């Protein structure tokens, strides 16, 4: 079964993001709630929403939004009075590379992946240049404080924002000690610019499904075909993989098919741990957790999604009927998968509840390789910084529906979840 999933898993994952816009679920309309009027907030820090694997930000993918599907969470929250950014970072890049790109996107300037990092992995030190959507980030504000941000990450985006916060506050000893000229401020530390981190369905301990991500080219091609059909263009849109640091830009007049084939057959991709596939694996997540820690001055929140139930005969976890069909094979696989190989991360039945891609304990917060503390969030008290405030699980919710929000019967329910999270962040102490 594991071998079979290696052949089909990425195809299913790719198509899941598309086909979930074409089906409705059987969730009851009685779950719909209505947002209250936005109250006076304690802070007005911008909210930065960071996508996961194969994701995208503004003005891409023929009008289909990662955050909101055919609608726009960014617009919805902006209309409520929040400042919201939805950046694009490398869809298949490592969390280190994505964090460097996110820093440049927000602050402005040329992406610097670090001289030591570039030497270790054989990539270029510099990437694209951005004007900066929030150049005053980190500067002194009008009230004498620091212009901070709230970071929200879905899926792999939750790992990426953790890496960004770690580098901002602590820098990188490897980068500081390698004798490079013009070191990026990201790597020098002592930047307390993040007020909070919220992760949604993030594989903090990795996912067993990541083992199938070893040959992505043909499946990404299918993904783009499906996107064209859903958005009504019937033309293959172009997902910019943003791999300039590997010299893998699309050439003039190069077909999309040729570009993706060239990318995913590159030795720079297949012979490196500097990519999303490794970071999303259980061992890759353990490595990341060993150096990315909860910072004492940042508020951490996590939310899990669960869309499986216990099978009466096997006692395995199987997908609920409302799960999008192309996530069901993943849910069934995770719902019975174990691994006790010495040296690997131990995976047992506690991992079986899942949302179709991520196990429940993995979404709660980092465990393997981590010393972080996870507590249950109590909305009636002021949360404690420096620990993971676990907000609980969204039942009958699969991995993608929480962000794509394409089911008309539950769209308002998930939209109000984001209203609630934004209000929670805005009421954190300055």
Q: Which residues are catalytic?
A: 155, 355, 399
Closest to 118 (Cα-Cα) out of 187, 64, 62, 69: 187
Closest to 208 (Cα-Cα) out of 399, 324, 391, 354: 354
Tokens 């993030």 -> residue: 202
> Cα–Cα distance between 383 and 390 in angstroms, integer?
10
Decide: 413 and 31 in contact? Cβ < 8 Å.
Answer: yes
- Kindly state the tokens that stand for 72: 């726009």
Q: Give the 3-state secondary structure of residue 72.
A: coil
Alpha-helix residue ranges (DSSP H) falling in 199-255: 217-231
Give the pairing of strands 308-310 and 126-130: unpaired
Measure CA 29 to chain center.
28
Alpha-helix residue ranges (DSSP H) falling in 188-266: 217-231, 256-264
CA-angle at 343, arms to 341 and 345, nearest 5°: 75
Cβ-based burial of 382 (10 A; exposed 0-12, middle 13-18, buried ≥19) = exposed
> Cα–Cα distance between 291 and 340 in angstroms, integer?
24
């Amino acid at each position: 079964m594991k071998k079979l999933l290696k052949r089909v898993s990425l195809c299913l994952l790719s198509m899941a993001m598309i086909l979930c816009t074409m089906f409705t679920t059987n969730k009851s309309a009685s779950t719909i709630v209505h947002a209250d009027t936005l109250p006076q907030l304690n802070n007005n820090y911008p909210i930065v929403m960071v996508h996961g694997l194969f994701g995208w930000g503004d003005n891409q993918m023929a009008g289909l939004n990662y955050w909101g599907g055919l609608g726009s969470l960014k617009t919805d929250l902006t209309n409520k009075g929040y400042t919201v950014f939805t950046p694009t970072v490398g869809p298949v890049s490592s969390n280190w590379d994505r964090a460097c790109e996110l820093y440049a996107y927000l602050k402005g300037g040329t992406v610097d992946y670090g001289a030591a990092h570039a030497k270790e992995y054989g990539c270029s030190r510099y990437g694209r240049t951005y004007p900066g959507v929030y150049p005053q980030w980190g500067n002194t504000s009008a009230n004498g404080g620091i212009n901070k941000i709230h970071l929200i990450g879905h899926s792999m985006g939750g790992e990426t924002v953790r890496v960004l916060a770690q580098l901002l506050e602590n820098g990188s000893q490897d980068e500081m000690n390698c004798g490079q000229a013009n070191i990026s401020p990201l790597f020098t530390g002592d930047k307390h610019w993040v007020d909070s981190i919220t992760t949604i369905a993030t594989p903090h301990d990795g996912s067993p499904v990541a083992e199938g991500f070893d040959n992505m080219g043909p499946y990404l091609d299918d993904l783009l075909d499906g996107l064209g059909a859903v958005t009504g263009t019937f033309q293959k849109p172009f997902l910019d993989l943003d791999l300039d640091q590997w010299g893998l830009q699309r050439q003039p007049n190069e077909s999309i098919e040729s570009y993706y084939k060239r990318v995913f057959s590159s030795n720079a991709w297949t012979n490196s741990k500097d990519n999303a596939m490794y970071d999303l694996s259980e061992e890759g997540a353990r490595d990341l957790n060993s150096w990315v820690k909860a910072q004492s001055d940042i508020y951490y929140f996590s939310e899990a999604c669960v869309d499986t139930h216990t099978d009466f005969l096997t006692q395995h976890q199987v997908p609920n009927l409302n799960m999008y069909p192309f996530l069901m094979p993943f849910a069934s696989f995770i719902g019975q998968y174990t691994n006790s190989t010495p040296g690997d991360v131990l995976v047992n039945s506690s991992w079986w509840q899942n949302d179709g891609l991520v196990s429940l304990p993995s979404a709660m917060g980092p465990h393997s390789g981590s010393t972080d503390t996870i507590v249950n969030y109590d909305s009636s008290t002021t949360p404690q910084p420096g620990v993971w405030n676990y907000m609980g699980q969204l039942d009958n919710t699969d991995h993608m529906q929480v962000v794509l929000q394409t089911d008309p019967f539950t769209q308002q329910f998930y939209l109000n979840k984001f209203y609630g999270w934004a209000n929670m962040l805005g009421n954190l102490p300055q």
